[in-house]
Amino acid sequence: MTTQTDYYELLGCSRDADDATIKSAFRKLAIQCHPDKHGGCKQQEAKFKAINEAYDVLKDPQKRAAYDRFGHAGPQGMGGGGQGFDGFADIFESMFGEFMGGGGRGGQTRRGADLRYDMEITLEDAFHGKQTDITIDVSGPCEPCGGTGASPGTMAKSCATCRGHGKVRAQQGFFVVERTCPSCHGAGQTIADPCRNCRGEGRVDKTVTLAVNVPPGVDEGTRIRLSGQGEAGARGAPPGDLYIFIHIRPHSLFEREGTTLFARAPISFTTAALGGEIEIPGPDGEVHRIPLHPGTQSGREVRHRGAGMPVLQGRGRGDLVVRIEVEIPTKLTCEQRELLEQFRALETGEECPVSTGFFDKLKKAVGG
């Protein structure tokens, strides 16, 4: 994000909102702001990314606690990007490492950075699972030098300034101040003859294709970790990880909450009165037949067990909940109108007890 907008304000939640409230608010906003609904509008796309960033922090207990305490710097530090907890730790170690008995982090080349990849899939993909390939630009170990940063046939040497510690100390009055070695920049080693291919970094930029297995039942915000597929560490240090964040494309028929699917189904007033059956095509590719009892009212929700989404890394499926909407005919033939007139003439008031009772109460209230 370019602006430091409060995450709670972005999702329209209070700071004491529970996880379910935050999740529900995110789902509604994600559907409303999805770029596909707005013809690729850049403003909506930016807002969509912003609410995803906010939800990514607030749904994680540790990141949320860090955000509540330190603001935007908190979760950034936890993710390894930017001035966060790692920055605070470096300052603390530099100032007090001598007295705490620690030698700091000198001589230890840090592992490569973790990377993030956002993948958008359909609801059907989320149901069945998906195996796909992704292509990313990432730094990988330099092949000519084997990741050491030194020209083939040569080796790095221990830094003469810090003697391999990566940090130097200076006495200032009663304090001993420790700082990163200016000669080796904290690596603890120097390279006399750097590799020409990577210029002594031990890593080069590459374009790689990775196979990703998306398991059945993934939901919005699900994270898939590919260990060791992040940025390569400098001079042979371990690589970071790649985190794939799943985003579910809005569906034309279904809305999802966990493993439960919700759908709206318009039916004719004759089917509502006489009963019948409706057919709902599910994301599993099957047609689910849902029986309706005579006298089904508009707004009623009918639950079809076991027709929802599969449980992630588990067994069973959720339910399909269909909300019934009775459609009143707007075009009638002469014969249909005549039949309805005959039906109205035969009405006694017992056919629709709710409406009859309402108007009776209304008449009494006005008369009173």
Residue 13 assigned to a binding site: no
Token couple for 65: 């606690």
List, in sequence order, every residue forming a beta bridge with 68; answer none if it has no partner: none
| Burial of 360 per CB tally in 10 Å (0-12, 13-18, 19+) | exposed
CA distance 183 to 165: 11
**Contact yes or no for 326/267 (Cβ under 8 A):** yes
The SS3 of residue 55 is: helix
Helix runs in 225-295, H state only: 269-274
Tokens matching residue 87: 């920055």
Classify burial at 246, counting beta carbons within 10 Å of its beta carbon; exposed 0-12, middle 13-18, buried 19 or more: buried
Provide CB contacts within 8 A for 302, sequence distance 6+.
Answer: 290, 292, 321, 322, 324
Q: In whole angstroms, what is the distance from residue 33 CA to residue 43 CA? A: 9
Dihedral angle at the C-alpha atoms of 131, 52, 88, 102, nearest 10 degrees?
A: -20
On whether 181 is known to bind a ligand per the annotation, the reply is yes
Contact 322, 278 (CB under 8 A): yes
Q: Which residues pair with 135 in a beta bridge?
A: 209
> Dihedrals φ, ψ of 118, to 5°?
-95, 125
- Is 41 annotated in a binding site? The answer is no
142 is in an annotated binding site: yes
Tokens matching residue 346: 């035969």
Q: Two tokens at 44? A: 């909506």
Residue 352 annotated as part of some ligand binding site? no
Q: Do the beta carbons of residue 352 and residue 344 sit within 8 Å? A: no
Q: Which residues are part of a known binding site for Zn(2+)?
A: 142, 145, 159, 162, 181, 184, 195, 198
Q: Which residues are part of a known binding site?
A: 142, 145, 159, 162, 181, 184, 195, 198
